[in-house]
Amino acid sequence: MNSDRFKFRAWRHDFKKMVYDFLITALGTIVCEGAPNLGYEGARETGLTIMQASPFHDKEGKLIYEGDILQCLDFVDEEPMWMGIMKYGRASCGCDNGTYGWYVEGGTIFFNEENYDDPAIIIGNIYENPDLIPKEDKP
């Protein structure tokens, strides 16, 4: 089993910072680093967006999370080809109705549970580096 399968990170909108130390209680309360009370009461964070880690690593060995911006490289010479955003959901390669899994929006990489063919490098994420989001993916 992949040990990264259940790792998460969260974007704190109030402090504009990525956090990795938090927990979600059985009642759904999100307790973040620096919570005022270890008993969880009053520690709910309302400005968090949670992102799950994928089971994949980039070319440099860094764990790829949902929301990461990837520079996808040519399989042969590893020259930069295009950029896209890592997502989980229903995607299609154009030959079927789609299937659920990890994919890079804005490109052609679809990840299966074991590996992916094209090399990619994490160049940022959608919260800390919004200027890197490809224009076609901006709202």
**pLDDT tens-digit profile of 29-68?**
676 655 544 444 444 555 778 899 988 888 898 999 999 9
**Residue 2 belongs to a domain:** no
Residue 1 lies in a domain: no
The answer to whether the predicted template modeling score (pTM) of the entire model surpasses 0.95 is no
- What's the number of domains the chain is made of? 1
What order do you get walking across the sheet with 80-91 strand by strand? 99-105, 80-91, 68-73, 120-125
> Residue 99: inside a domain, yes or no?
yes
Q: What is the pLDDT at residue 80?
A: 86
Q: Which of 10, 4, 3, 5 is nearest to 24 (CA)?
A: 10
Nearest of 110, 102, 118 to residue 66 by alpha carbon = 102
Cα–Cα distance for residue pair 54/87, rounded to 1 Å: 9
> CA angle 10-13-15, nearest 5°?
100
List the domain range (segments joined by +) for residue 69: 8-137
Answer yes or no: is 3 within a domain. Answer: no
